Amino acid sequence: MSQPELSLALIGFGNVARRFITLLGETADRLDFTWKVVAIATRRHGSVVDANGVDTHRAIAAVEANQSLDHLGSAASPRSGIDVIRQVADLCGDEAAEGRLVCVETTVLDIDRGEPAVAHVRAALEGQAHVVTANKGPAAFAFHELDALAESVDRQ
């Protein structure tokens, strides 16, 4: 039986997200799935979307050299995390419907409002993606809303 391939959209690409990608690569032989990054969105370094897969080594090198990610894709990518999530949900509709689209949200959090994490989680769930977040904001500020939304699209 073949392993499912997950499509990952990374919203935020700081130390946590870059280390997450490195760990996935280091443990690939022990995982029961394969993966590809289909999008990376950052506030400082722009974004890249490619349904065929983003070269994560080049993305990490670009960010660590304080360069833009915009040049890594074949077409212009949206600037906001929400727009990237929506574009990925459209491009990866089959993966989303099959439960293989995952949004990994690791942005900086406004502790007074829980944003932009709440909006990112909401947009990802609306696009039928599973969501992993490093932020407490979505649970603290919008747990009931997001839990109901996740249940309505059969996601976690």
| Amino acid 136: pLDDT | 87
Query: In sequence order, what DSSP letters do the residues of 11-70 get, joined into one string?
Result: E--SHHHHHHHHHHHHTGGG-SSEEEEEEEE-SSS-EEE-TT---HHHHHHHHHTT--SG
| Amino acid 74: pLDDT | 62
| Amino acid 107: pLDDT | 92
| Amino acid 79: pLDDT | 73
Residue 129: closest CA among 85, 87, 91: 85
In sequence order, the β-bridge partners of residue 40 are: 10, 48
Whole-structure pTM value: 0.92
Length of the chain: 156
How confident is the prediction along the chain (156 residues), in pLDDT tens digits per residue?
Answer: 588 999 999 999 999 999 999 999 999 999 999 999 999 999 899 999 999 999 999 999 999 999 999 888 766 666 788 889 999 999 899 999 999 999 999 998 888 888 899 999 999 999 999 999 998 888 888 899 999 989 999 987
CA dist 120 and 138 (Å) reads 9
